[in-house]
Structure 1
Amino acid sequence: MARDVEAPIGSARLELVEGVRLLHPADAVLEAMLTGWGRQQRGGRHLQEKTVSDRIATIRRFVKFADAFPWTWGAADMDEWTTHLVAEKHLQPSTIRATQGAVRMFCDYLLDPRYDWAVECERRFGTHPIQVCHEWNTLDHLLDYEGDPDRRPMTRGELQQLFDHIDERVDLAIRRGRKGALTAYRDATLFKVIYGWGLRRTETARLDTFDWYRNPKAKEFGRFGMLEVRYGKSSRGQPPKRRSVCSTMPWAVEAVEDYTTNIRPRFKGHDRSKALWLSERGTRLSAKEIDERFSVYRKALKLDEDLVPHCLRHSYVTHSIEDGADPVFIQQQVGHEYASTTALYTGVSGDFANTMMRKAIDSALQRDLQDFGPGGRSRR
């Protein structure tokens, strides 16, 4: 097949040369398909290299499992693979969905008439690819969040314990003239920021001093009225998502303002770094170090070992909803694409649930009285 300059990136017309006899045609066509798909994703869709290579690796694993080439795949192959991933590999639902998504996209690519792979397979092998991913043999993407079910929000009591404990460590270090007062003060402020703005640990680690700015609707917070999160969680293959988070907790604003004004300037290298959170060496604090610092305090307080920094983000969602915040506003604050994700993050307390239940019952009783009257007779 002659090369066609008008053919799109990844087309069979660009990956296979007509008139060249292939020693192992099936293997050669498979490699041409994968090469073309990789180029189509890199050049046509500008996806990251790791995303592309991971997807191609998934297709190779599926080829090996099915022991068949793409133009002979059937839906039963995907059905068996799904069973294998669930029952034998015990993979997380999100991982299984990612592998199935790669196969689905690869099949879509092969069936797209612009790339001529179906025509080429029919000409060479007398058959053509089909879509093998369907609702009945894949996991439906019902929810955006499929994290560890052991994750839960911290209670208000646990939060108070954590913040009080770190504050006490600051006071103790100062009174005894020991090192550690600065890092403890930094830690206290850092965890308050995670909770106060509902952040992920990576988002928190990547914050810079200039990410705060004024909100004309909240002048009382000065230059800390809004927080620009520049390294939010990205969709697969896409750059980090940005979002602006409104400041809503005055005590958290006071904490970060005091830290940036009085504490951060005491860290080594503060004048050479734009990072908000600095280590004792003057380098940016990493997400891993945030985990480690949280673990130290959790163990000292003998809190549940399942608690991690991300639970502070859960707590922000839960407590904001309990305090009457609009769920849509909270969804925007934390950067959830789906409302169902925010709902999963919400672990309301028993008292709050009972209050909501009481309101629902009272509302139902009120409607019954309006519709039927005290004696149960319909007023309609």
Structure 2
Amino acid sequence: MEPYDPYLIEFQGYLQIEKNASPHTLKNYIRDIKDFRLYMASLGLTSYEKVEYLHVRGYLALLNKMEYTRKTISRKMSSLRAFYRFLTRENYIQTNPFQMVSTPKIEKKLPQFLYPEEIEELLRLPDRSSPIGLRDRAILETLYASGMRVNELVSLDLDSIDLMTGNALVFGKGAKERYVPLGTYAIKALKDYINNARTKLNPLSHEKALFLNRYGKRLSDRSVRRLIDKYVRYLSTVKKVSPHTIRHTFATHLLNAGADLRAVQELLGHVNISTTQIYTHVTKDRLQTIYKNFHPRA
């Protein structure tokens, strides 16, 4: 049985109520702190206040020895830094030993994305003569048209979309709402799905979810990943494609066409502009176009 930890319970409430942390984020924070608490116990440290700079350095060394990735180590340290910041702010401890420790820098990988002809090929694959095919086409078109996350997509209800105005109300990270445009192709695909396929998946259901599985229940994000995997097998590309790849593609295509970075930030639901800036890479095709258009001897 785990020891009662009032500080951790209070911190959990702070994350839920004040920070609107997602269940996934909350789970990671709590697990990271509990792991550190086991390390404290191995050193005979009975309270958070007894942790010093050298203990934190020792924990970093242990994580490296256990061959955790830089990304995981950085996340764990970020969780603990936030926890100790909370303890200091609430005057439960006097000093924060994590303030003096730098975490390993993570190499930022450029996001994988599809070229216009590749995404077009993917969008053409679903069989429009079957209810499942119409649903799948609507899902793919909606993901590419809006750039929404897969969990945002499967959370959509019928009344979340307005096909007259072409907008969808999305609940993003931290329970934040935003409106995203759907575009003409996605609107048409959604109309075809709602009018000709959705009721066939479960004609007697009162399910409010927009996208249904073959049993008439809300589709899961895992199911969306599986259906994308199914279609990717027929693509000519060798790239690994996920729902997030389509989100990357959405952002890349907008920016390559000259969209404002701040506007793309809003559409993606990013809190910080720095998160969006990773998409400002320029594709080889874009470089070729710029060169041909502007170099006097191209």
Tell me the secondary structure at the aligned position of residue 98 of structure 1.
helix
The structure 1 residue matched to 2:217, chosen from 265, 268, 283, is: 283
Does the aligned pair in 1 maintain the 2:228–2:242 contact within 8 Å? yes
Are positions 1:228 and 2:169 aligned together? yes
Matches within 5 A, 1:89-238: 89-93=67-71, 95-112=72-89, 114-115=91-92, 130-134=95-99, 136-139=101-104, 149=109, 151-166=111-126, 169-170=127-128, 174=129, 181-213=130-162, 223-230=164-171, 232-234=172-174
Does the aligned pair in 2 maintain the 1:151–1:307 contact within 8 Å? no
How far apart are residue 133 of structure 1 and its match?
1.2
Amino acid at match of 1:74: E
Does the aligned pair in 2 maintain the 1:198–1:317 contact within 8 Å? yes
1:246 corresponding residue in structure 2: 181
Does the aligned pair in 1 maintain the 2:141–2:185 contact within 8 Å? no
2:244 corresponding residue in structure 1: 310
1:40 corresponding residue in structure 2: 10
How far apart in 1 are the matches of 2:272 and 2:292? 28
Tell me the secondary structure at the aligned position of residue 273 of structure 1.
coil
- Deviation digits for residues 193-240 of structure 1, max 9, x if unmatched? 001000111111111111113xxxxxxxx524211002x233xxxxx3
Q: 1:270 to 1:204 in 2, by over 3 A?
A: farther
The structure 2 residue matched to 1:59, chosen from 19, 27, 36, is: 36
Unmatched runs of 5 consecutive residues or more in structure 2 = 18-22
How far apart in 2 are the matches of 1:58 and 1:192? 42
How far apart in 2 are the matches of 1:45 and 1:209? 30
Tell me the secondary structure at the aligned position of residue 233 of structure 2.
helix
Q: What TM-score do the two structures reach when normalised by structure 1?
A: 0.65
The two structures, once aligned, show a CA RMSD in angstroms of 3.1
Does the aligned pair in 2 maintain the 1:264–1:270 contact within 8 Å? no
Q: 1:343 to 1:74 in 2, by over 3 A?
A: same
Q: 1:357 to 1:139 in 2, by over 3 A?
A: farther
How far apart in 1 are the matches of 2:243 and 2:86? 40
With CA pairs under 8 Å and 6+ residues apart, which has the higher RCO, 1 or 2?
2
How far apart in 2 are the matches of 1:199 and 1:96? 28
1:14 corresponding residue in structure 2: none
How far apart in 2 are the matches of 1:206 and 1:303? 30
How far apart are residue 157 of structure 1 and its match?
1.5
Matches within 5 A, 1:342-353: 342-353=276-287
Fraction of identical pairs, as percent: 23
The structure 1 residue matched to 2:254, chosen from 309, 315, 320, is: 320
Does the aligned pair in 2 maintain the 1:97–1:139 contact within 8 Å? yes
Tell me the secondary structure at the aligned position of residue 208 of structure 2.
coil
How far apart are residue 289 of structure 1 and its match?
0.6
Does the aligned pair in 2 maintain the 1:273–1:283 contact within 8 Å? yes
Does the aligned pair in 1 maintain the 2:53–2:100 contact within 8 Å? no
- Deviation digits for residues 157-208 of structure 1, max 9, x if unmatched? 2112112222xx33xxx4xxxxxx1101110110110010001111111111
How far apart in 2 are the matches of 1:79 and 1:102? 15
Amino acid at match of 2:156: L
Unmatched runs of 5 consecutive residues or more in structure 1 = 1-30, 119-129, 175-180, 214-221, 235-239, 363-380
Does the aligned pair in 1 maintain the 2:115–2:249 contact within 8 Å? yes
How far apart in 1 are the matches of 2:83 and 2:123? 50
How far apart in 1 are the matches of 2:204 and 2:167? 22
How far apart are residue 301 of structure 1 and its match?
2.6
Number of aligned residue pairs: give it.
Answer: 286
How far apart are residue 89 of structure 1 and its match?
2.5
Q: What TM-score do the two structures reach when normalised by structure 2?
A: 0.81
- Deviation digits for residues 315-341 of structure 1, max 9, x if unmatched? 100111112221111110010112222
Does the aligned pair in 1 maintain the 2:33–2:80 contact within 8 Å? no
Does the aligned pair in 2 maintain the 1:97–1:138 contact within 8 Å? yes
1:127 corresponding residue in structure 2: none
Q: 1:343 to 1:43 in 2, by over 3 A?
A: closer
